[in-house]
Each structure stands twice: as C-alpha cells, then as structure tokens.
Structure 1
Amino acid sequence: MVNVFKSEAGQQQVITSYDRLLKRWPVAIQEVDIDTSYGTTHCIVAGNPGNPPLILLHGVGDNSAVMWALNIEALAAHFYCIAVDTLGGPGKSRPNEHFHKKTFRQLQWLEEVIAHFTAEKVYMAGVSNGAYMAYNYAAANPGKVARVVCLEGGMVIKPFKAMLQTLLLMFPELLNPTEENLLKVLKKMSHPDSGMLEEHPWVAEHLVLLMKHHNQQAMFVHQLKKYDHMQGLAARDKLYFLIADHRLKSKKDFMRIMQHGMYRYKIIPQAGHGINHEQPATINHEMLDFLLQDIEASNMADSCRTS
C-alpha cells in the first residue's frame, strides 16, 4: 500500500488545515467520497447540480481545498464544480492496493469518478499536473468533453524531463524542509512581482505544510504519457491553454507544441506556476470566457428555435 504522507502526525496536520481552508470557501459545499477500483476518491462539490459539470484537477503537491479556494466562487456561479483530490496527492483521497505502477490506469480512474456523477459530457480544468490529466483525458475521449482549460501544463514530450524540472525547482531547499526554506521554494515558483504570499498567507501556509508532509513518491504511480500529435489534434478545438510568463524560457518544448499544433493559448503576465493563485481575477475571467462560449451559443440557438 502506498503511503501518501510521511507520517500519521503530518497527515493529521494537513487534514486539519484542509478543513480550515474549506471554511474559507465563499460557497456552499459538499464533500463526497467515491469508491473506485484504485481506492476512495474524495471530491469537493459546489454549485447548482442543474448546471453543466466542471471537473477540477489540482497539481502534484496540492489538493482541491487549496487549489480552487480563490476561484470557486466565480466558477460555481455557472457550473456544477467537482474538485477532485488526486489519488496519491496530499488530500483526502485514499489509495488501495491496486494503486500501483503496474495496475493503475489514470484514465479508467477518472472515468469512474465522472461516472459517479452520471455525466455524459463534462467541462474540465486543471493546473500543472492537473492540466496534464485534463488534456490526457480530452485527447483520449474527445467526444466526452465539451471544453477544457489547461493552466501551466498539458501535454508533455519528455515525461522524465518534465518531472525532473519540477523537482529541481525545490532543491536544495527541500533537503532541509524548514518553513523558511519551503517559503523560498514557493517564491522561486512565483512571479517576482507576485503578491500572493503576502495577500493570501493562509494559502502559502497550507502549501508549505503539504511540501513538508507529502510523500511525493506516491505520485510516481501516475505515469505520464508522451504527447501524440494526431491524438491531440482530435481534441484541439476544445482546448485552451493559459501559460504564466514567469520562467517562460524553460517552457520552449511546450511552446513549440502550442505553435506547431495551432492550439489556442494565452500568456498571462506577472504570473508564476501558481497562476490561478497569483492572478485569480484574470484566470477566472479567461476560464469563464472560454468555457461558457458554447453554452451561450447553444442557448441562443434554442432561443431562435422557440421564437
């Protein structure tokens, strides 16, 4: 069985902080546990169930409670939001004995989560590794997704290099994981002009707690799939990529994919890897502007047919 946290005491600290974060959410929520083939998957649900479903996926070292805290109010006004705690991540999901490199199938796991909500077609959004998962699901199942927003991530050409680059950002500070050093990691990943750490210290506090107590090897069970150009094109019109301008030079491979494949994307100024935390108002606007386009078009068509 994979240990998601380094210790039981650390896990309890994270869960206590998780629950405290949820009290800050400005919308009514429900917490739902879903039994899947690979363990219990925890979801935070917000918004009107009559609205279109929006699957929200967080990054490698995050969880849903912190990832969407600054975005959920805007998103839940239009969508039935389903924020998924990734199996192996430092949230409330709990893997079982089948959560193993040899047996775990990420797409099957997501299918089971989505099926619980009886959704035939979903909207999706993800940050970092969550963006990869959202892209990967859309590319494999273009008929099952309406629109997808990928923030600071998506397809990968060199899976090992992508994983290594993320880990290297955390060194050498991660070797001595004091609060001061872990804050330095957050600052390295943030835009120099970002005021997120000062404006939302409770977000930074929780992220530091996750870095300190999460067993990141638990996420190695999620094996990255190399980008397939033709498969990506099948879902291209449903995809929108939001990319932070911080450390843009390190994203050359990704930008080549964007340009060669003629994908829709936008570079967000004064934003770092925590793009939706650093620029929440901008990201909320960009996400909703893209996600709502076909809903508005469909409503307009229905109006014309009935008039």
Structure 2
Amino acid sequence: MPKLVLQLLVIVLLSACTSSKKVKFDDYIFKTKSEKQSYIKSYDKSLEILNVPYMEEDIKTSYGIAHVIIAGPKNGKDLVLLHGMDASSTMWYPNIKALAKNYRVFAIDNLMEPSKSTLTSKPLSVEEIVIWYNEIFNHYKLKNFDIIGASRGGWLATLLTVQKNSEIDKLVLLSPAQTFKNVDQKRKASAALFLKFFPNKKKLKKTLDAFAYYPDKISPVYKNQFYLANKYSKSNISFLQMLPFTDDELKKIKNPVLVLIGDHDVINSEDSLLRADEFLSNGKTETIKNAGHFLSMDQSKEVNEAILDFLK
C-alpha cells in the first residue's frame, strides 16, 4: 500500500478508536440520527429498482437486528447473497430478478456496515461474525443452500464455507476481496479509502471509475445510496480482519466453487485465479471481459448466466 495511504489509514483509525465521545449501541455505524434517516431513505429508493417482487424482514439476533431482502419462489432452492463493502443488499439490483426466477433468495445486510441491519453491540470479532450469520441461517432453517458473495461478501462467504458443519452447498465468489491474495492494484484501489475518509462527489466519480469498467451503467439512484453510505457512516477497522485464506484453509473447501473476476479488476488478477485453481479441489474460474471489480453491474447479463449455469 502506498506510504501516504497507509499513514492516512492509521491516523483515521487511531482517531476513531481513541475518541472519548460516548457512543450509543445503535450508533456504531452512522454519525447522527438524521444522517442515518437520510441513508435509509436512499436505500428505500434503491429498492424501487430491484424490478422483482420482494419482502423485507428484520430478525433479532445476539448482536443486533439483521435485515434481509427475500425474493423468489418458496419452493426454490435457498440462495444467500452477501454484498460488497458499504454496498448493502441493494447492490444486487442488476442480478436479483434473474436469480429469483427459480431460487429462494435471501440477501443479508452486513451488520457492521451502512445498511438496514442494526448493530446493538460492540463491533464483532471474526468468530462472532460466523455466529451472527449462522443465527440467520438457523432462523430460516437453511440447509444445503448455495451462497454468492461479492468483494468483501466473497471473503465472508469463504469464511462461512470453511467452518465445521457448514450447510453451504455451492459457493460463488465475485471478485472476492482479500480471499486468495492481497489487493492487486493498491494505488487505484486507494480511491475507495479517500472516498470513505473525505467523501465528495469528485472522489465518488474517481472511485467508480477505478472499480467499474462502465461506471455510467450504474443506476444514479444506487450511486446516491453508495455515496451516502460513505459520507454518513463511520470509519471502522473490520476490514483489517480480512486476511487471505491459507493454503490449508482453501484445501478444506470441497464444495463446488465458481470464481469470477473482471479483466480490469483492481482487487484481483489472474494470480487470484491461479491460486484458486491450485487449492480448490472442485473449483472453476473465469475472467469476465470488459468488467472491473463491480463485474455484477458491468456485465450483469453475462455474470447472471455464468452463475445460473454453475448453480444448475
């Protein structure tokens, strides 16, 4: 990581960790109540572009309220969606209609990021994250289900898959962050850090230009929600928990796995796919042309088809 970016990261994290201001349990993610309300309003606007019948449910867990978007036939095979960092479950708007045609989809908002889930405890450890997701899976009685994770969601999906007694069947990873290797193009990827720490529309554009091959294809409604997620939420250190999985951990995964990355991805490269091919005994890898890290938006039709073909 460039020295300037690393120094900036350390300064912001230290200031966040040493603040003497007393924080309420329901205020770990958002800075103020009014800013949270503005973000939720933008989230609801994004729900309008899902283009599929859905329902929202809030589930009480040991660490807070889990918000889940559910779509698809009740008799379809269960499919869990885990979104990317600060993206929330509405990021699946280009994909959920295709996925929900035959699958019962459960899109879960991450508890420690801006979303409709609400953290009511201290930030979670890796072990507590696993417990939290399993509480949701148990609530819905999910057995032998498939899971798709994008970016940080891919790391989380992999973490859940390597656990003992995991009920996950097939695993789809869309440019999973910090899963097979560290960030590939650190300088370009640092645009997201600057957006988080000093949010403005110029930095939003720079971030989208770096992470998407076709940034203009992203819905303006969703762009606004993503911007407010960065503008109104607090910096947190949860991404520092994300270390690439060891060779032995990857070898434990016997599940069928599909790994997709974009050919212009700033997070992963061909090296990620080579490592996946080497250590996943039942893995399949593919590079999506004319796609960046946001490949599910850049090439939604091709990505949807690749996923559905693999899951069948």
TM over 0.5: yes
Shift of 1:212: 1.4
Match of 2:57 in 1: 32
Name the residue aligned to 2:130. Answer: 107
Q: From the superposition, tell whether residues 247 and 275 of structure 1 become closer, same or farther in structure 2 (CA, over 3 Å).
A: closer
**SS of equivalent residue, structure 1 residue 26:** coil
> Does 1:179 pair with 2:191?
no
Map 1:243-258 to 2 at 5 A.
243-247=261-265, 251=269, 254-258=272-276
1:89 maps to 113
Equivalent AA in structure 1 for residue 190 of structure 2: L
Aligned AA for 2:230? M
Residue deviations 1:83-141 (CA, integer Å, cap 9, x gap): 0000111111111125444x861111111011111112211001000011111111224
1:63-91 per-position Cα deviation (integer Å, ceiling 9, x unaligned) = 002x1111111000011000000011111
Is 1:229 the equivalent of 2:247?
yes
- Per the TM alignment, residue 184 of structure 1 is displaced from its structure 2 partner at its CA by 1.6
Q: Helix, strand or coil for the counterpart of 1:110? A: helix
Within 1, Cα distance between the matches of 2:250 and 2:187? Answer: 23
> Is this contact kept in 2: 1:89–1:219, CA < 8 A?
no
1:208 is matched with which residue: 227, 230, 234?
A: 227
> Which among 23, 31, 48 is matched to residue 23 of structure 1?
48
Counterparts of 1:10 and 1:236, CA distance in 2: 44
State the 1:235 CA deviation: 2.1
- The AA in structure 2 aligned to 1:63 is S
Q: Which residue of 2 aligns with 1:77?
A: 101
Secondary structure at the residue paired with 2:310?
helix
Deviation by residue 1:136-160 (Cα, 9 ceiling, x = unmatched): 111224751111100011663667x
Question: Which structure 2 residue ranges, 5 or more long, are not aligned?
Answer: 1-24
Identity %: 26
Could you state the TM-score of these two structures normalised by the residue count of structure 1? Answer: 0.83
Distance 2:218 2:189 in 1: 26
CA contact (8 A) 1:135 1:155 kept: no
Q: Which blocks of at least 5 consecutive residues in structure 1 are unaligned?
A: 293-307
Letter in 1 for 2:279: G
Q: Secondary structure at the match of 1:265?
A: strand
1:61 to partner: Cα distance: 1.2
Given the alignment of the two structures, is residue 149 of structure 1 paired with residue 137 of structure 2, yes or no? no
TM-score, with length taken from structure 2:
0.82
> Is the CA contact 1:133–1:154 (under 8 Å) kept in the aligned structure 2?
no
* Contact map agreement 2:59 2:65 (CA 8 A) in 1: yes
Work out the CA distance in 1 between the residues paired with 2:160 and 2:198.
36
8 Å CA contact 2:83–2:152 kept in 1: the answer is yes
Please tell me whether the aligned partners of residues 181 and 268 of structure 2 are also in contact (alpha carbons under 8 angstroms).
Answer: no
Verify the 8 A CA contact 1:142 1:234 in the aligned structure 2: no
